[in-house]
Amino acid sequence: MEIMLGRSKAEINLITDALGEKSYRAAQIHKSLHAGLEFSEMTDLSKTLREKLAENYIAQPVKIIKTLKSADGTEKFLFLLGDGNVIEGVLMRYKYGNTLCVSTQVGCRMHCAFCASGIDGLIRNLEAGEILGEVVSVNRYLSGGVGDKRKVTNVVLMGSGEPLDNYDNTVKFIRLLSEEGGLNISARNVSLSTSGLVPAMYALGKENLPVTLTVSLHSPFDAERQKIMPVAKKYSIAEILAACSDYFAHTGRRYIFEYVLIRGENDTERHAAALVSLLKGRPCHVNLIRLNEVKENNLKSGTEKQAYAFSAFLEKGGISATVRRKMGEDIEGACGQLRRRFLEEGNNQGVKFERADI
């Protein structure tokens, strides 16, 4: 069955027209979908219409089937998709609002050495409505509504998958987030993280979407970066930096580099010094992330002290840098970990496509 969430009001209008309904019904349905309602809950529609819609369409393509809450308030979600695939997201609570980290693909084909998401490769892309479904379902879980009543205020595309490897759906999703009548989350409150797919970075700059571009750098040296991230064999650091400059020229927005600190691999003074020369004078910020160790590889995290020393070195060299606060460590916070555990334990057998009673 086809998914209804993610269709524009005009697209829904075509469906209601075909069913002989008045056009204001499309706006009602659109609003209810973005608020996370199933057709059966859309009580402002006639029962016949609700039933007709439910016969032909899936209203909500993403169901929350499990949540894990950390002592620090961070919450992990396991989402079930219509075809039985499982993805995950993370909610981080800050003073200024709630940020949801969403997945853009089931699995990932980037195979970064430290990451649990890509171990089994890419299974499939998510549709725009499915990525939106992650936000809509968590917003409802938090008792949020549409527009000013939303409880999810910021979105980061940093969950499983490579957003720019699923370009069209990702861009459509960002536009849906800010659609009138929907959650009304502006692209300014969206960060997109990429492993550095250069042609797509250029394309994104031309979309007229002021998202914060975040690039996973992880090394200032091409040869070493290639060992951490196979995709680095395709695009050099110089090409990535040129694409960042182009993004800045189009959007005027400072870009961010993510740098996962892996003990002994990319966290020495040699690396910090090279990063300073590489990034000096650029309108950028470096987000240092202490590795979340995953059992599938032998990479180790350094100490907190080492991370702060690395950060101080960058700052002294004139590069704006912060160490990302570790959140949700007690709940398998790293990308793809929760999903892997869930599948390994065989929990997906016989899971019904419906919202869990949570």
Residue number with CB closer to ligand SAH (38 or 329) = 329
Query: Which backbone phi and psi does 21 adopt, to 5 degrees?
Result: -100, 155
Residue number with CB closer to ligand SAH (207 or 329) = 329
Alpha helices, H only, the chain: 9-18, 24-34, 47-56, 128-141, 167-177, 198-205, 222-228, 237-251, 269-279, 304-316, 337-344
Cα–Cα distance between 95 and 93 in angstroms, integer? 7
- Tell me if 338 contacts ligand SAH by CB under 6 A: no
Q: Which stretch binds ligand SAH (CB under 6 A): 11-19, 108-116, 134-142, 273-281?
A: 108-116
Alpha helices, H only, 167-303: 167-177, 198-205, 222-228, 237-251, 269-279
Active-site residue among 88, 127, 265, 332?
Answer: 88
Cα–Cα distance between 215 and 246 in angstroms, integer? 14
- Tell me if 193 contacts ligand SAH by CB under 6 A: yes
Interaxial angle between packed helices 269-279 and 304-316, expressed in degrees from 0 to 180 and rounded to the nearest 10: 40
SS3 345: coil
Q: Is residue 225 a contact partner of residue 218, using CB atoms and an 8 Å limit?
A: yes
Residue number with CB closer to ligand SAH (136 or 335) = 335
* Size of residue set near ligand SAH by CB under 6 A: 17
CB of 295 to ligand SAH, least distance (A): 11
Number of Cα atoms under 13 Å in the Cβ half of residue 222: 9
Active-site residue among 101, 108, 284, 335?
Answer: 335
Cα–Cα distance between 301 and 321 in angstroms, integer? 18
Site mask for ligand SAH (CB under 6 A), range 36-75, x = bound: ----------------------------------------
Catalytic site includes residue 88: yes
CB of 336 to ligand SAH, least distance (A): 7
* Binds ligand SAH (CB under 6 A): choice among 291, 314, 319, 331: 291
- Say which DSSP state 328 is in: -
Residue number with CB closer to ligand SAH (88 or 162) = 162
Site mask for ligand SAH (CB under 6 A), range 224-263, x = bound: ----------------------------------x-x---
Q: Is residue 289 a contact partner of residue 258, using CB atoms and an 8 Å limit?
A: yes
Residue number with CB closer to ligand SAH (185 or 294) = 294
CB of 132 to ligand SAH, least distance (A): 18
CB of 335 to ligand SAH, least distance (A): 4
Catalytic site includes residue 335: yes
What's the token pair of residue 73? Answer: 């308030």
Q: Is residue 126 a contact partner of residue 79, using CB atoms and an 8 Å limit?
A: no
* Catalytic residue list: 88, 335
